């Protein structure tokens, strides 16, 4: 073999992708070392040239089936997460300093089920105005974000849920949100008296006291 052949062999070896088993190990190492979900594009940027990230992810996902941790998809990203049936082992005592108001919960639910949705559409569904503080709180928590502007007069901004929201609730995409029957069976759509039946509650206080929707409106919100 002459010098030219040796040079060509070295060049090919430099650009040859590692074996799939090694690619899988590399992806596994990155996912375990990263707290946040990682997109396939980010993985591809870190791996050697020529690696097949998609195939490595599929191999890794199958390898962890039935194990204590699973490889899960979160939107367009991937992460290693504790198996759902072992979540009770991960209980941690925390101090909850701030709870979501009813207005924030309703707003978040509307965004999740109707995204992309404008502020005016949120207010139409809720039946009451949405305070700026409610939107700001959900954005500070990184559970909703600004989406594309609507191609309508005024070009209003829309809101969509984030990958942080999906990851928090163990969802691959917004399509995995529970339906009406599941919500009712879980007791999340319990009957509540309408605000008009509560003496002393003004219209301005309805949003603050989080009583903006009666049970019928709650059902409409998710349909």
Mean confidence (pLDDT) of the chain: 76
Is residue 132 very low, low, confident or very high in pLDDT (cuts 50, 70, 90)?
confident
- Per CATH, which fold does 102-222 belong to? Arc Repressor Mutant, subunit A (1.10.10)
Residue 94: predicted pLDDT: 58
- Which residues, in sequence order, are CB contacts of 40 under 8 Å at separation 6+? 53, 54, 57, 76, 77, 78
Range of 79-88, 168-177, 184-193 with top mean pLDDT: 79-88
> Does position 2 have pLDDT exceeding 60, yes or no?
no
Where are the domains positioned within the chain? 3-89, 102-222
> Does position 13 have pLDDT exceeding 90, yes or no?
no
As a whole number, mean pLDDT of residues 188-212 equals 41
Residue 9: predicted pLDDT: 47
* Long-range contacts, stretch 163-171, CB < 8 angstroms, 24+ apart: 163/37, 163/74, 163/75, 163/76, 163/77, 165/108, 165/112, 166/74, 166/75, 167/37, 167/74, 167/79, 168/143, 170/72, 170/81, 170/84, 171/74
Pick the CATH number of 3-89 from 3.40.1180.10, 3.40.190.290, 1.10.10.10, 3.30.465.10: 1.10.10.10
Range of 51-60, 96-105, 177-186 with top mean pLDDT: 51-60
Residue 167: predicted pLDDT: 85
As a whole number, mean pLDDT of residues 130-156 equals 89
Is residue 29 very low, low, confident or very high in pLDDT (cuts 50, 70, 90)?
very high
> Does position 121 have pLDDT exceeding 80, yes or no?
yes
φ, ψ at 213 (rounded to 5°):
-125, 140
Residue 27: predicted pLDDT: 93
How many angstroms separate the most distant Cα atoms in the chain? Answer: 96
Cα 137 to Cα 104: distance, rounded to the nearest angstrom: 8
> Does position 196 have pLDDT exceeding 60, yes or no?
no
| Same fold: 3-89 with 102-222 | yes
Is residue 100 very low, low, confident or very high in pLDDT (cuts 50, 70, 90)?
confident
């Amino acid at each position: 073999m002459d010098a030219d052949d040796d040079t060509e062999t070295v060049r090919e070896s430099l650009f040859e992708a590692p074996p799939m088993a090694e690619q899988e190990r590399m992806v596994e190492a990155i996912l375990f070392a990263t707290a946040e979900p990682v997109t396939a594009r980010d993985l591809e940027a870190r791996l050697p040239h020529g690696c097949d990230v998609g195939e490595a992810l599929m191999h890794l996902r199958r390898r962890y089936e039935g194990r204590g941790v699973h490889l899960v998809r979160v939107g367009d990203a991937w992460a290693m997460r504790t198996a759902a049936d072992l979540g009770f082992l991960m209980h941690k005592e925390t101090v909850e300093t701030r709870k979501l108001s009813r207005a924030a919960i309703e707003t978040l639910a509307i965004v999740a089920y109707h995204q992309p949705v404008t502020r005016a559409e949120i207010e139409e569904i809720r039946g009451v105005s949405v305070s700026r503080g409610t939107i700001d709180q959900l954005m500070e928590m990184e559970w909703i974000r600004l989406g594309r502007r609507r191609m309508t007069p005024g070009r209003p901004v829309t809101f969509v849920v984030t990958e942080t929201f999906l990851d928090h609730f163990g969802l691959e995409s917004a399509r995995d949100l529970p339906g009406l029957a599941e919500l009712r069976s879980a007791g999340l759509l319990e009957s509540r008296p309408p605000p008009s039946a509560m003496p002393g509650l003004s219209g301005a206080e309805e949003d603050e006291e989080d009583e903006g929707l009666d049970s019928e409106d709650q059902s409409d919100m998710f349909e």
